Amino acid sequence: MRVQMTVAAPWQPILRQLVRRLAERGFVARTTFDLQRARCSLRNNEEVPCPHHGSGRCTCQYLVIQISRRGGSPSAVVVHGYDNSTKVALLSAVGDKVDGAITTELCEALEHVRKRARSLARAGAKSRRTS
């Protein structure tokens, strides 16, 4: 089962909510790759084109998050933030089985985050109309 979802919201609040929701259920999350940190380590990082847009100034974020229960086998979650959207995907190596509990909890957490992002977007649009 492939778990993937795109949410129409910036990556920072999506990631915060996702990690908080998983932590409430006994999971530990650890960032193992951060695109912007990797770009900053390059001498001429402004000259490296964005892999998503092709522009010199990359505003995307690409994170690999390792999640697991304490003492359990880890799984990798990829978070790709771009253009005020966030794509989240659960990865598994070829032939590896992803822990069913992680899949279930991640699906539930993503659905919760997606609904919350939608309600926040509607509230923001409503407040802009009344201003």
Domain residue extents for the chain: 3-130
The residue among 100, 99, 108 whose CA lies nearest residue 22 is 108
* β-bridge partners, 49: none
Q: In the chain, where does DSSP find H-type helix?
A: 11-24, 35-40, 100-130
* β-bridge partners, 88: 5, 79
Asked whether the whole model's pTM tops 0.85, one would answer no
pLDDT digit string, tens, across residues 56-104: 677 789 999 998 887 777 888 999 998 888 999 988 654 566 677 788 8
Q: Cα–Cα distance between 8 and 98 in angstroms, integer?
A: 26
CATH among 3.30.310, 1.10.3470, 3.30.750, 2.40.50 for 3-130: 3.30.310
